[in-house]
Amino acid sequence: MPQHGIIGAGTDIIEIARIKQAYERIGDRFLEKVFTPGERSFCDERRDRFSCYAARFAAKEAVLKALGTGLAGCSFTDVEVRRPDGGRPEVTLHGAAAEIAKEKGIASILISMSHSRENAVAFAIATGEEVF
């Protein structure tokens, strides 16, 4: 039986400097481990790419919390944040995250992201029905 309504919610905040420092220490391996090729391409085209990366990192954490699992059993690249046609951000789940969502009856995840000069924040809501 399909689920209806809100199944989970998650939020996360991160200092943008932490993402930049991780990149400076580890380099492209960090970006490849955390972000999909599409996310890397999108952020690398931005004037302030680390703000973009930090917002997506917060979004991935928020989504994993909304799924109710955190990072257990999933990888960061199982959660992809896209902005088709420059519109509102959308979440696509892959691998273990997609399986968990299916098992829990999650049909849609809404996401909101923002950042200041120092921090990036995201909020995710997992619903049991297609919202848009």
Domain residues for the domain of 109 are 6-127
pLDDT tier for residue 2 given thresholds of 50, 70 and 90: low
Give domain status of residue 116, yes or no. yes
pLDDT tens across 56-112, in order? 999 999 999 999 987 788 999 999 999 988 789 999 999 999 999 999 999 999 999
- Can you spell out the DSSP letters for 27-61? THHHHHHHS-HHHHHHHHTSTTHHHHHHHHHHHHH
Task: Please indicate whether residue 20 is annotated as part of the active site.
Answer: no
Give domain status of residue 32, yes or no. yes
Q: Give the torsion sign (CA, 89, 90, 95, 99).
A: positive
∠ CA 123-54-93, rounded to 5°: 55
Give domain status of residue 132, yes or no. no
Is residue 132 scored above 80 in pLDDT?
Answer: no
> Residue type for 86, please?
G
CA distance 47 to 42: 11
> Residue type for 24, please?
E
What's the CATH number where 49 sits? 3.90.470.20
pLDDT tens across 15-68, in order? 999 999 999 999 999 999 999 999 999 999 999 999 999 999 999 999 999 999
The answer to whether 67 touches 104, Cβ cutoff 8 Å, is yes
Give domain status of residue 1, yes or no. no
Give domain status of residue 93, yes or no. yes
Write phi, then psi, for 117 (nearest 5 degrees): -70, -30
Number of domains in the chain: 1
State the pTM of this model. Answer: 0.92
CB atoms within 10 A of CB 119: 17
Task: Please indicate whether residue 104 is annotated as part of the active site.
Answer: no
Residue from 20, 33, 60, 65 carrying the catalytic annotation:
65
Three-state secondary-structure class, residue 22:
helix
Give domain status of residue 48, yes or no. yes
Residue from 4, 20, 94, 115 carrying the catalytic annotation:
115
CA distance 91 to 94: 10
Give domain status of residue 42, yes or no. yes
